[in-house]
């Protein structure tokens, strides 16, 4: 026996029953849909699963919990240990991080997390810092400055002039 000889067992692959093709279809007047003349007898969708026939629906019985934003702020993440590769006195800003391949986009916000160690005194400019990251940068003799989108646009305009 070879691969081209294989066949599905008899009865395992049934053809879909075609409904609603008139009295000559062999399924009678109602085409196999029973006595109904309403929603279930028609083409398209039947009764919606969430309807419970007058009972209070489950989705309305459960309490509302939490909030999920449709446009959450998704930070690019940089570890403090990644900043240790820069020399002391360096100003670490979005342009430098983009050049070194630490972030993908200078216009998307990035956050510095406190994973790893840093020994160099750096001036780090970022959209956000974790508490541990800020402490590690300051303890190393550096500065942690919070920036926003407008500062990047101003710096870009100044560099073009």
Eight-class DSSP state of 38? S
As separate numbers, helices (DSSP H) first and strands (DSSP E) second, the chain gives 5, 6
Q: What is the pLDDT of residues 31-86, one digit of tens each?
A: 888 887 777 788 776 778 888 889 999 999 999 999 999 999 899 999 999 999 99
How far is 63 from 33, CA to CA, in rounded Å? 38
Cβ atoms of 84 and 124 closer than 8 Å: no
pLDDT confidence of residue 3: 94
CA atoms lying within 13 Å on the CB side of residue 9: 1
pLDDT confidence of residue 158: 83
Query: Is 109 or 48 the better-scoring residue by pLDDT?
Result: 109
pTM (global) more than 0.75: no
Q: Which fold has domain 76-160?
A: Ribosomal Protein L15; Chain: K; domain 2 (3.100.10)
- Confidence band for 139, pLDDT divided at 50, 70 and 90: very high
pLDDT confidence of residue 10: 92
CA atoms lying within 13 Å on the CB side of residue 125: 17
Eight-class DSSP state of 58? H
Mean pLDDT, the chain, rounded, equals 89
How far is 72 from 88, CA to CA, in rounded Å? 35
How far is 28 from 48, CA to CA, in rounded Å? 27
């Amino acid at each position: 026996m070879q691969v081209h000889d294989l066949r599905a067992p008899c009865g395992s692959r049934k053809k879909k029953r075609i409904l609603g093709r008139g009295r000559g279809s062999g399924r009678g007047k109602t085409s196999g849909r029973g006595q109904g003349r309403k929603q279930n007898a028609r083409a398209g969708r039947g009764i919606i699963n969430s309807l419970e026939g007058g009972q209070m629906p489950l989705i309305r019985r459960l309490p509302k919990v939490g909030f999920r934003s449709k446009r959450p702020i998704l930070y690019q993440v940089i570890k403090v240990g990644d900043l240790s590769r820069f020399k002391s006195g360096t100003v670490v800003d979005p342009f430098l991080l983009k050049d070194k391949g630490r972030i993908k986009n200078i216009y998307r916000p990035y956050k510095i997390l406190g994973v790893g160690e840093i020994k160099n005194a750096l001036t780090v400019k970022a959209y956000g810092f974790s508490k541990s990251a800020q402490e590690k940068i300051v303890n190393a003799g550096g500065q942690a400055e919070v920036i926003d989108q407008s500062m990047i646009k101003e710096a870009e305009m100044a560099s073009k002039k």
